Amino acid sequence: MRAVVQRVQSAAVTVEGRRAGAIPNGLLVYLGVGRADEERDARYMSDKLLGLRIFMDDAGKMNLSVRDVGGGLLVVSQFTLYGDAREGRRPSYTQAAEPKKARELYERTVGFLRESGLLVQTGEFQAHMEVTYTNLGPVTILLDSEKSF
């Protein structure tokens, strides 16, 4: 499972002119599910996201998590995180999970995040979405449940 995580002042996702989800502050998470992923990857990712210390403390150090600051999470599915563009000009997506499995693990991850009691909003799985946000810092972190980077 892979994620691109951005610390945001605000974020929203729109589908066909309708707001699907929004948060006032917290983390914007683009989440991709790989072919080999299992429920343990969903648990790892949710725990990592909730504990990732990228918010400023009183001393101005990135030492607080989204849980510590009471922020929200906007989780947007994105299979293109498994795009392999090492050869040619068109990325291959063969390492991305099939839609049924991807949806199940995406929803499982969102469920684990919701157990935290924080505001968790989502996009719409397999929809064309418009995402708007204000990145604070900017701070952008890459996560991979297989720890390949």
Give the catalytic positions in this structure: 78-80
Q: How far apart are CA 123 and CA 126, in angstroms?
A: 9
Residue 7 and residue 136 in contact, taking contact as beta carbons nearer than 8 Å: yes
From CA 55, how far away is CA 139, in angstroms rounded? 9
Asked whether the beta carbons of 28 and 66 are under 8 A apart, the reply is no
| 60 backbone φψ class: left, alpha, beta (φ>0; ψ -120 to 50) | left
How far is residue 65's CA from residue 38's CA, in Å, rounded to a whole number?
Answer: 25
Secondary structure E strands in the chain: 2-15, 18-23, 26-32, 55-56, 62-64, 72-77, 120-122, 130-144
